[in-house]
Amino acid sequence: MIERRPTRQIHVGSVPVGGGAQVTVQSMTTTKTADVDGTLAQVYALTGAGADIVRITCNDVDAAQGLAEIVPRSPVPIVADVHFQYKLALAALEAGVHALRLNPGNIRNEAHIKEVARAAGERGVPIRIGVNGGSLDKDLLAKYGSAVPAALVESAETEIHYLEDVGFYDIKISVKHSHVPSMVESYRLLSQRVEYPLHLGVTEAGPPPGGLIKSVAGIATLLLEGIGDTIRFSLTADPVEEAKAGRQLLEYLGLRERAGLDLIACPSCGRAEVDVIEVVKEAQRRLEEADLPIQVAVMGCVVNGPGEAREADIGIAAGRGKGHLFIKGNVVRVVPEAEMVDALLDEARKLVEEGVEARLAAADGVAEQLAAEAAEEILQIQGDVNHTEERRARVAEVAKSSP
């Protein structure tokens, strides 16, 4: 169980952030904000993919006016992303946004920042201090020589003081960096110095798969340490992929309840009787289309498959032209190989509707016996490809011969 770092709680619209609330997923639209219908379509797509909060750029007057139409029609809270022009932050507040993101690297005038804070405070709208290694204040770059963690944290703390000076405390903070170790160290340092909720992300992570790997490396490291209250994958890709990845990461870490498919599969080996990769691709496509919130295992071998994947809600293992369908490690049906994925999808739907106990009770009475016979047949034909008994004997011999 992950022990979360205690933080203050703020509310982005109806969504609580920090203070023990569940970790939330954010993403950002890539449309022109002035294109109201196009932007709303993307907001709905992001929401469907798992985003709890969506950020939208407010980079000109047309964008601010677009926000005035988007916000009341959005299914989730909207954060206005503002750079350079503090008056656009004021315009976004007038448009009714649920939060602001300000970059202290390019909105630097103290009086302007405090004016925005006062206006946000009057409306009960929180502000994210969005420090970014790639757009750090030039004075801090001169002081530290580069965007090191201490520089990012100092930038955040300076901005915090500006907001607190006018009695504004509805704050969350990010200190993003494109270099994963620097990003991790920046958040660790910041978490020791403030009690405000933290928004995690590796900035400019790039396209998948590299961008996904970098994002997971940084974000998961911190979440496992209890650091982080809301996250965003910054990918050079369809933002729907960001929301999906963020949601999946939280589910895999046990920080959110499973809302979608969790597909596990063996890497295949010499014992496999089917093309595991192709079966997995087909199963994943069809199960995702069915939108079933369960853990499914696809195993290439009936000898070890059901046992190795017994914690999965449901799974299928191949063996000698047949598919052995199992629920929680118990084989419930044996079907022809060509019908493996069809049977898996059919049983998965019934499992979601009826529950594990009901499906186990409805199992084919001879399925377990047929599966055991098939496993034994494969062992007789293929032999013990892992040479288990020989290896166990050698291990015991070495252990006994030690002085």
pLDDT of residue 384: 61
User: Is residue 377 pLDDT above 60, yes or no?
Assistant: no
152 to 18, 178, 185, 241, 363: CA distances (angstroms): 21, 12, 10, 28, 59
Give the model's confidence band at 361: pLDDT under 50 very low, under 70 low, under 90 confident, else very high: confident
Q: What are the pLDDT digits (tens) for 108-160? A: 999 999 999 999 999 999 999 999 999 999 999 999 999 999 999 999 999 99
Bridge-partner residues for 164, per DSSP?
none
The residue written with tokens 């169980």 in the block is: 1
Which tops the pLDDT comparison, 389 or 177?
A: 177
Give the model's confidence band at 400: pLDDT under 50 very low, under 70 low, under 90 confident, else very high: confident
Write the single-letter amino acid at 223.
L
State the Cα–Cα distance between residues 246 and 349, nearest whole angstrom: 25
Q: What are the pLDDT digits (tens) for 185-200? A: 999 999 999 999 999 9
Predicted TM-score (pTM) of this structure: 0.84
Domains of the chain (ranges, CATH numbers)? 10-252 (3.20.20.20), 262-382 (3.30.413.10)
State the Cα–Cα distance between residues 81 and 78, nearest whole angstrom: 10
